[in-house]
Amino acid sequence: MNCIKCPKKIYCSKLCKEHFAKYFLRKFKRHLSNLKILKRKDKVKLKGKNKKTAKHLLLSLENSLSIEFDIKGKELLTYSMDYKVISMLESMMSEIKIFQPSILECYRINEIEKFCKLKKIGFEEEKYSKLGKELKKGIDKLEKRKHNIFFSSKKMLDKLLEQHKKL
């Protein structure tokens, strides 16, 4: 298999070494500008694995932001997408209650609310932690664009849980 941009041999992510390096830097630039956490001449301190890689990328920005590395600088984390997703799932699953099935988990909360109203049963709002509230707000927003995201997330988590039980 060859690079999707030239006839050279694939190195990573369907790209040859040269195109992969370009792609990697481009992706970093885009990510940084999306994050909006760095200004010119900022003093930063890197925290996490692969600090050298992060430093390399920061220093190789064309319109160098003249960033300084300083132990008292603003903390910038350097974990990967994998670590972020896994850690989030981990913290979700560490709550043991989630492992046990619920007899009402086949419903969305608004369905339960509507049913309560219909049957004149007192409805109880479910309480979330601060992080939970933020997550829910985010997922609710996503759901407007991508239908059934709660359903597919739950399906994914249930599958992960099954794997976990087998271990």
Binding site for Zn ion (CB under 5 A): 3, 5-6, 8, 16, 19
In the complex, least distance from residue 8 CB atom to Zn ion, rounded to whole angstroms:
5
In the complex, least distance from residue 27 CB atom to Zn ion, rounded to whole angstroms:
16
Nearest CB to Zn ion, comparing residues 3 and 54: 3
Separation CA 18–CA 11 (nearest Å): 9
Separation CA 18–CA 53 (nearest Å): 17
In the complex, least distance from residue 25 CB atom to Zn ion, rounded to whole angstroms:
14
Asked if 60 and 25 touch (Cβ cutoff 8 Å), the reply is yes
Nearest CB to Zn ion, comparing residues 10 and 38: 10
Separation CA 61–CA 27 (nearest Å): 12
Nearest CB to Zn ion, comparing residues 13 and 91: 13
Q: What is the 3-state secondary structure (H, E, C) of 81-97?
A: HHHHHHHHHHHHHCCHH
